[in-house]
A and B are shown apart, each in its own frame.
Chain A
Amino acid sequence: MTDSKQLAARDAARALERARRDARRARIDIWEAIYQAYVAGFAIAGFAALVASVLPEDQVGTTQLETVTRYAPVALGMVMAFAVAIGLRSGARGGPLVFDPPTVHYLFQSPLDRGFVTRRTALNQLRSAVTWGLSGGLALGLGASAALPGGIFWLGLGLGIVGMLTALALFGAALLASGLRISMTTATLAGMAVTGWSGIDLASGATSSPLTLIGRLGFMRETADLTSLAGIGVVSLMVLVAFGTAASVSLEAALVRSGLVSQIRFALTMQDLRTVVVLRRRLTGQAHRPRTWLPIARTSGSRRPVFHRTLNGLLHTPPSTLVRAGVLGVASGVALGLAVRWAAPMAFLSGLLLFLAAYDFVEALAQEVDKPTLWANKPVRPGDLVTRLTLAGAVCMAPVAAVAAATAILVSGGGLVIIALTAIPATTLGAVVGAAVSTVLGAPTFSAATMESEMFALTTVPRILAPPALAALPMVPVVGGFASGNPAGSTVVGSVFLTAVFCGLALLWLRSRRPELS
């Protein structure tokens, strides 16, 4: 009885899938498809050009080649290890499968074998992940082909396979963790073990981790041998076992994910960066703590209620937010430190990392923007409230700036004291103001979204670029200084000047904002 019901349900699910696929195909516009292929090709070519720009223009010499063949496979293995660690943690939170809410509601409530639904969804998502991995690897090979031996074919093939296997490993690890319902602690420990193993390989120059064996495939002609097959075997086995456990994924987690992921997709479509960041954080289960980290007096009676409220909100942040702010501060400092030693444009990365950290420090402002009725009813000018919340966020972000500056000084070997102590605070201010602008801008209005695509691009591109540009601008004189060997003094003056002008203009714009009451 139950078997016949399952077969009937399976037939119904397949029939619907076929009908929806046919409907999708019927809706495909050939010009739209050509345009999408063009955009994808452009993105791959852009990534390849970026890789080529950081590598030497001519073929590397024998000594450099030895270094590349010794360390690059281990580094690729390390990247894969991080992918596995990220996948395990994602799986512990219920990832990577995303079902649309009606699928969860109807298919998972039918007599259909749950594995039938989960495995089909997993296969579709895996196909997409592998395509992305393969494309990334191919682009990497294309970009590296001028500097490294092997030519486009062998480098493209090797790095394409590594990219594909990285995607497989990431997806397989996530599905396995989700199917086995492992806890976050177990996932973190397992991730640390995998990355630690690759770290030992990196430090010792040995090839013991299966992921390092796969890394050897990247430079196929120079480093690959039959032992790499063992690495492929391990990843394939993990994916197979993961598919075997897919029926046991948590329905509760799937429902939460399906709702949030559809919102993220919509926000991405609307180029709403702040919403994407906030929803992504919610997807990883980050909720505010009911109690503050430190005792804090009540806001009433405070002479600076706006600053007090901002600090109060920040003291409720979950541990992961604090860790993330610290990590982004360290990473920003490392990027600035490496900019002086390696590639000057790394200084821009330093600014962008602070920009990402700044979203947490404008949360109080975001709460007002999200609730325009409350914002409108405050007994202060709406624009004043925005600027005061922004500046309060910048003050609260000072510890992150201090971490970044200290790291930059350490990484540069003490040679960046003046620049770190001026450019990083300036960049922090730019980052917070940029995050505030991004938050206040929000998603494009419906009328903007329905414009002709050229008009939409004209209005949307500045919306996307302006906020991070405010964080990157203070680094322009720094990059120029590193590249031309200008003294730190003139670099600092330029950095502070640019920050004062552009942040001043942005703050004036923020001051003119009003709540949009519908």
Chain B
Amino acid sequence: MSEQPVLSVEGLAKDYGDGFGLNRLDLSIDRGELVLLVGHNGSGKSTLLGLVSGFLEPTEGSVSILGSPADSVEARTARSYVPDEPILYSDLTMLEHIAYNAALHGTPDWEGAAEDLLVTFQLMDRTDDLPARFSRGMRQKAATIVGLVRPFDLLLMDEPFLGLDVAGQDALVTILGDLAGAGRSVVVSTHQPNLTAVATRCVGLRDGDMVYDGDPDPDVIGRIIHG
């Protein structure tokens, strides 16, 4: 018997009232896959991630994470979502964000993992500062750390490289590759070319339809993005 997919999407559609943001999409992602989600603006990448993360409600179809519906407690336990615009409390410090999110998910011994991530993203000396006041790139790093410090089976990231400096981009590529190598499933919406080196699969979207599902070939990705 084959292993249950981490993410299973069937006939998933989202109608915003002025046309379909996503048009009856079928997708299955297994453990250990690092999937690049590519497409031009308005192609449906953020809509797909919003639906899988449970923030958007589908017009048709279903999403299941490890066999549970997207809005179930089980799915929320298994899924970590980092949106394109970092969402941070204005009254919590960097460390308080991490501690709170770790506690919400019942994460034991989070301090070590948090320290590693803070060092990697060069935020170790900013742990007692309020990240809501950070620059765009630093807020992106903060949101990424908060999303990574808790346990998950499926990581969803929407444009995680936005605003990151080169060191931050390289660090994130390494981390995402390591996560996939450790058996976590990762879906990243991005145009970042150097992620193709560690990605295992690419899904291309255009106007809400899936136009490609295969190897992360840079030439193919270029053609999808440039239309």
Instruction: Scan residues 142-191 of chain A and give those whose CB is less than 8 A from a CB of chain B.
Output: none
Chain B min CB distance to A101 (Å) = 5
Q: Does B76 lie at the interface of the complex (its beta carbon under 8 Å from any beta carbon of A)?
A: yes
Residue-wise, chain A 96-111 has the 8 Å CB interface mask toward B (1 for contact) of 0000111011111111
Choose one: A15, A105, A110, A251; the contact of B87 (CB below 8 Å): A105
Q: Is there contact, CB below 8 Å, between B100 and A113?
A: no
Question: Could you say which of B17, B57, B76 has the most chain A C-beta atoms within 10 Å of its C-beta?
Answer: B76
Q: Does A9 lie at the interface of the complex (its beta carbon under 8 Å from any beta carbon of B)?
A: yes
Q: Does A462 lie at the interface of the complex (its beta carbon under 8 Å from any beta carbon of B)?
A: no
Chain B min CB distance to A120 (Å) = 15
Q: Does A367 lie at the interface of the complex (its beta carbon under 8 Å from any beta carbon of B)?
A: no
Q: Is there contact, CB below 8 Å, between A4 and B103?
A: no
- How far is B103's CA from A4's CA once the two chains are assembled, in angstroms? 12
**Which residues of B are found within 8 Å of A2, using beta-carbon distances?**
73-74, 77
| A9-B104, A251-B57 known; A110 vs B18 contact (CB < 8 Å) | no
**Which residues of B are found within 8 Å of A111, using beta-carbon distances?**
73, 76-77, 104-106
Among residues of A, the one whose C-beta sits closest to the C-beta of B53 is A109
Question: Could you say which of A9, A100, A114 has the most chain B C-beta atoms within 10 Å of its C-beta?
Answer: A9
Choose one: B71, B79, B87; the contact of A102 (CB below 8 Å): B87
- How far is B16's CA from A287's CA once the two chains are assembled, in angstroms? 12
Chain B min CB distance to A262 (Å) = 11
Among residues of B, the one whose C-beta sits closest to the C-beta of A27 is B91
Q: Does B56 lie at the interface of the complex (its beta carbon under 8 Å from any beta carbon of A)?
A: yes
Instruction: Scan residues 76-105 of chain A and give those whose CB is less than 8 A from a CB of chain B.
Output: 100-102, 104-105
Q: Does A252 lie at the interface of the complex (its beta carbon under 8 Å from any beta carbon of B)?
A: yes
Q: Is there contact, CB below 8 Å, between B104 and A106?
A: yes
Chain A min CB distance to B158 (Å) = 12
- How far is B54's CA from A109's CA once the two chains are assembled, in angstroms? 8
- How far is B105's CA from A290's CA once the two chains are assembled, in angstroms? 44
Q: Does B224 lie at the interface of the complex (its beta carbon under 8 Å from any beta carbon of A)?
A: no
Instruction: Scan residues 15-63 of chain B and give those whose CB is less than 8 A from a CB of chain A.
Output: 17-18, 53-57
- How far is B142's CA from A106's CA once the two chains are assembled, in angstroms? 14
Question: Could you say which of B18, B80, B87, B88 has the most chain A C-beta atoms within 10 Å of its C-beta?
Answer: B87
- How far is B79's CA from A20's CA once the two chains are assembled, in angstroms? 27
Instruction: Scan residues 63-108 of chain B and give those whose CB is less than 8 A from a CB of chain A.
Output: 71, 73-74, 76-77, 79-81, 83, 87-89, 91-92, 100-101, 103-106
Q: Is there contact, CB below 8 Å, between A9 and B106?
A: yes
Q: Is there contact, CB below 8 Å, between A102 and B89?
A: yes
- How far is B18's CA from A290's CA once the two chains are assembled, in angstroms? 9
Chain A min CB distance to B44 (Å) = 16
- How far is B18's CA from A98's CA once the two chains are assembled, in angstroms? 26
Q: Is there contact, CB below 8 Å, between B105 and A110?
A: yes
Chain A min CB distance to B30 (Å) = 23
Q: Is there contact, CB below 8 Å, between A20 and B91?
A: yes
Among residues of B, the one whose C-beta sits closest to the C-beta of A5 is B106
Among residues of B, the one whose C-beta sits closest to the C-beta of A24 is B91
| A5-B106, A23-B91, A111-B106 known; A252 vs B76 contact (CB < 8 Å) | no
Q: Does A8 lie at the interface of the complex (its beta carbon under 8 Å from any beta carbon of B)?
A: yes
Q: Is there contact, CB below 8 Å, between B104 and A112?
A: yes
Number of interface residues of A (CB under 8 A): 33
Instruction: Scan residues 101-132 of chain A and give those whose CB is less than 8 A from a CB of chain B.
Output: 101-102, 104-114
Q: Is there contact, CB below 8 Å, between B83 and A105?
A: yes
Question: Could you say which of B53, B79, B92, B104 has the most chain A C-beta atoms within 10 Å of its C-beta?
Answer: B104
Residue-wise, chain A 11-25 has the 8 Å CB interface mask toward B (1 for contact) of 111011000100100
**Which residues of B are found within 8 Å of A108, using beta-carbon distances?**
54, 76
**Which residues of B are found within 8 Å of A5, using beta-carbon distances?**
73, 77, 105-106
| A102-B87, A250-B57 known; A113 vs B73 contact (CB < 8 Å) | yes
Residue-wise, chain A 374-386 has the 8 Å CB interface mask toward B (1 for contact) of 0000000000000
**Which residues of B are found within 8 Å of A100, using beta-carbon distances?**
89
Among residues of B, the one whose C-beta sits closest to the C-beta of A103 is B89
Among residues of A, the one whose C-beta sits closest to the C-beta of B108 is A8
- How far is B79's CA from A101's CA once the two chains are assembled, in angstroms? 18
| A251-B55, A252-B56, A252-B57 known; A110 vs B91 contact (CB < 8 Å) | no
Can you pick out 28 interface pairs between chain A and chain B where the beta carbons lie within 8 Å of each other? A2-B77, A5-B73, A5-B77, A5-B106, A8-B106, A9-B103, A11-B103, A12-B103, A13-B104, A15-B103, A16-B92, A101-B87, A104-B55, A105-B83, A106-B100, A107-B104, A109-B54, A109-B81, A110-B76, A111-B76, A111-B77, A111-B104, A111-B106, A113-B73, A114-B71, A251-B57, A251-B71, A290-B18
Residues of B participating in the A interface, judged by any CB pair closer than 8 Å: 17-18, 53-57, 71, 73-74, 76-77, 79-81, 83, 87-89, 91-92, 100-101, 103-106
Residues of A participating in the B interface, judged by any CB pair closer than 8 Å: 2, 4-6, 8-9, 11-13, 15-16, 20, 23, 100-102, 104-114, 250-252, 255, 287, 290
Give 19 A-B pairs besides A9-B105, A109-B54 with Cβ atoms closer than 8 angstroms.
A2-B73, A5-B77, A5-B105, A6-B73, A9-B104, A15-B103, A23-B91, A105-B87, A106-B100, A108-B76, A110-B101, A110-B105, A111-B77, A111-B104, A111-B106, A113-B73, A250-B57, A251-B55, A252-B57
